[in-house]
Copies of this chain bind each other. A is one copy, B any other.
Amino acid sequence: MPQCGITLEKRGLVETSQHPIAPATGRLGVLFVGLGAVASTVIAGVELIKRGLAEPVGSLAQMGTIRLGKRTEDRAPLIPDFVPLADLDQLVFGAWDPISDTAYEAAIRCGVLDRYTHIEPIAAALKEIEPMPAVFDQQYVRRLSGTNVKPGAGKRELAEALRDDIRNFKAANDCDRMVVILCASTEVFIEPGPAHQSLEAFEAALDANDEAVPPSMLYAYAALKEGVAFINGAPSLTTDVPAMTELAHTAGVPLSGKDFKTGQTLVKTVLAPMLKARMLGLAGWYSTNILGNRDGEVLDDPDSFRTKEKAKLGVLEHILQPSLYPELYGDFHHKVRINYYPPRGDNKEGWDNIDIFGWLGYPMQIKVNFLCRDSILAAPLVLDLVLFTDLAQRAGLTGTQEWLSLYFKSPQHAPDSYPEHDLFIQQTKLKNTLRWLMGEEQITHLEMENED
């Protein structure tokens, strides 16, 4: 990556690391696509944490440690002490949303946070964040509507308006670097087509107002064109196409996605590796979900659900490798159901029934009931992705960031490879990448020091 090398040198390298990383100086602008439950929970959390009123629980980038060297060396620094990350004080938030609620109003409306303890004490900071008018089109998200919407039907024109927003935000807030992160509702299912195969085809589609270009792609395009890293937290197609990875490489910025791995899939990517570690067969896996927030409402539309279902179904097949284990995993029934169920609000609930078989084929069952909170699980992922993406940006890592697979339900991967879904391989990947960046040796867990 010689083109990055030059940029890095200009910024002044972090001397102690093997791999050159620019220091995290100045302000880091964070723009949310969608100022709903997730974004408002992230923003409120960061404000509370900065004031010492809460802990960044769930954030590896804030609370994680990393073991270095041999087991007996007893070295395990905090990750933020090991790699040069931006401080929370350096973050500046902005957002787009078709609904004009401020972060304060959104936080109250979404019902995720306790008003007395976690909203009112930082009300002033939250009220300052007013969403910019969004690019929104009901054709792609049918169950929503909004008034805080950019005028103009031309997709090229809308993309340029988003680029202006990014430039203006950066200047107005005196940001050194920016990250755009999509936390918006799931769009209807779009089959990857010719318009997505190259940057050139994509830009032609943009000019032609092609319906293969949903709003989310306009955000991604705008960010990358501005040299700003982009993260896709939704299951929408958005960045999962050659045109976008091409643009990311051209622009020299990192890209990652898609779909935050929060509740049921998080558990799935842990239990499936367990089955495989023990060679327990799988006869069926029935997953049902009930959730009552805006996300659930959107997914009640079969076309949006189809997008989500695709993201959720691939997981088992990639982990279990039926081609290697036909007797164990060659014929399992995997069903995923999502139900919009208003009594739950933002508290998502999953119920998994897993039919396994063991020795001589005898059946057994595992049932998992996960009573979780959607935005509470997503918020620290957003923070980590923002901080690690900014690190990647400063370390000159461009294009798809496979080492951030840990955070995604459907991780983007190199074209000649496959997505890594196993949470523990994802974790090893992330930590060994950090070690590699800082010139530390890889961990293998072989403990044969005393043997030879």
Contacts and interface: CB of A to CB of B under 8 A. Distances in A.
A423 B369 contact: no
Contacts of A380: 278-279, 358-359
A414 to B, nearest CB: 7
A425 B424 CA distance: 9
Contact of A361 (B57, B76, B420): B57
Nearest to A350: B366
A113 B64 CA distance: 35
A311 B402 CA distance: 38
Contacts of A19: 452
Nearest to A284: B343
A115 B343 CA distance: 22
Contacts of A359: 41, 45, 56-59, 375-377, 379-380
A41 B362 CA distance: 12
A51 interface: no
Interface-central residue, A48, A343, A370, A443, by most chain B CB under 10 Å = A343
A444 B62 CA distance: 24
B432 A446 contact: yes
A138 interface: no
A364 interface: yes
Contacts of A325: 63, 65
Interface string A404-439: 001000000010110010011101110011011000
Contacts of A270: 270-271, 273-274
Interface stretch (A91-99, A147-155, A172-180, A331-339): A331-339
A435 B351 CA distance: 38
Interface in A316-367: 324-325, 327-328, 332-333, 335, 337, 339, 341-344, 349, 351, 353, 355, 357-367
Given A72-B416, A115-B116, 10 more contacts: A45-B360, A59-B359, A284-B344, A288-B337, A288-B351, A351-B353, A358-B376, A365-B370, A428-B428, A433-B448
The 7 closest A-B pairs by CB, nearest first: A284-B343, A424-B424, A283-B343, A442-B444, A343-B355, A432-B446, A367-B369
